[in-house]
Amino acid sequence: MTIAVTRTGVPGSKTAHMPATGPAVAVPETVPGAVPGAVPDTVPDGTVRYLRIGGLELESGARLPDVTLAYETWGTLNADRSNAVLIEHALTGDTHVTRGAGEEPGWWEQLAGPGAPVDTDRFFVVSINILGGCYGSTGPSTPAPDGRPWGSRFPLVTLRDTTAAEARLADALGIRSWYAVLGGSLGGARALEWAVTFPERVRRCAVISIGASSTAEQIAFAQAQTLAIRQDPSFKGGDYYGGPGPEAGLALARRIAHITYRSAAELDGRFGRNPQASEAPLEAGSLAGRGRYQVESYLDHQGNKLVRRFDANSYIAITEALMSHDISRGRGALEEALAPATAEFLVAAVDSDRLYFPAQSRVLAEALPGEVEVQLIEAPIGHDGFLTEIGQLSGQLREGFFS
C-alpha cells in the first residue's frame, strides 16, 4: 500500500514512520503488475509518499519481509516515460531535494527545480529515502513483523540492496529507464551502483565527490563514528526506543564526520584559534571548567543539530552501507566491473575534498568505458562543496546531460 503526506506530515520524531496525517492515496498493494502512473497527478510536488515493495533478499543472506520506501516527486512523467530523473541523497539527507507545492526549501535547489539544470518543468524528478533510513523508508526504527522496532535486529544492508529496492519502486511508477541518475557523496555511490547493476535502465549517470569504493581511511573514519554511538550508555545495543536515545554518541559521530566534510583551510579561515564569545579556554581554573574555542562550539552545534532530526541506528546502518561501497566487489577488476555500464557519465570532484579525494574520481573516470573527464568544483570549503557549489556544474549539466 502507498500513502502520501505533505511535508508537514513528515515524522515529528526521529523514530516515527509513516505518519497518519495527510491525504491517503490508493496505489497498488504489491509491485508486480502495478499500474504505471497509479499515483495520481493531483498529489502536489514535494509530497512524501510511501510504497510497500514486499520482501527483499539481502546480500548478507538475511531477508527483510516487508519493505517500505519513502519518496518524493516533482514535475510530470511524460507519455513515453522517458523524462524521469533519480536524484540520490547523501548520508543524512532526506527526500526533499527541492521545494515543491510548499515553501520548505530543499537541500539541492541549485540543481533541481523550475528553470534549474534539472528543470522540473521538463523532467519528472524522483528522490528516494535510502533503505535503513529514518525519513520514512524501512529502517531500524520502523516496526518489525512483531510490531516492535527492528533496533538491534535490523540486518546489514548494502548499496546493492538499496538499489534493488529502488528498482522495484521505479517499476511501480512505470519507469523502465532513467533519463539520468545522479548524486553526491553517498548519493554518487548510489548512482554508480544503479549504472552498473541495471545498465539497461540508466542512460546518464553523474557521480559527484566519490570514488569507485570506500578506502581503508574512509572506513576508519566511519568506524570511529559508529563506535561513538555504540559506546554511548544509552545505546543499549541498539534497542533504545521508548527511552533516552544515544544522543551524546550521535552528536560525537557527527562531529567526527563534519571535520572530514570541511577543509583545514575552511576551519582555520572561519575560526582560527579564537575563543567562543566570552569563553576563555586558557583561563579556566580546572580542566572541567575550561571554555571552548570557536571551532569546538561550531562542531557542538553541528552535532546537536543532527541529534534533533536523525536516528542513531539509521546513522549506523547507512554509514555501514557506505563502508560497503565497492563497485568491483564480486565483479572482477575495476575496468571489468564497469564495462557493462552503457550510460553517459559525468564525474566530478571538489578540489579541496579531504574525505573523497579528487584522485579517487580520476581513477574512476579512467576506468569507465569511453573518455570521461573529471569536472573539478573549486570550493575552499571541502567535501561539502558538492552541495554548496553544485552551480559550478550548471554549464556541463545544461549543455550535456539535460540539454
Which residues are marked as active site? Answer: 185, 353, 383
Q: What residues does 84 pair with on adjacent strands?
A: 124
Distance (Å, rounded) from C-alpha 58 to C-alpha 40? 31
Distance (Å, rounded) from C-alpha 335 to C-alpha 46? 38
Distance (Å, rounded) from C-alpha 255 to C-alpha 330? 34
The grid coordinates listed for 147 are: 510490531
In total, the chain counts a number of residues equal to 403
* 3-state DSSP assignment of residue 5: strand
* 3-state DSSP assignment of residue 390: helix
Is 74 within 8 Å of 120 (Cβ atoms)? yes
Distance (Å, rounded) from C-alpha 266 to C-alpha 288? 29
Written as one letter, the residue type at 244 is: P
Q: Which residue shows C-alpha cell 539481502?
A: 58
Distance (Å, rounded) from C-alpha 211 to C-alpha 185? 9
Distance (Å, rounded) from C-alpha 338 to C-alpha 336? 5
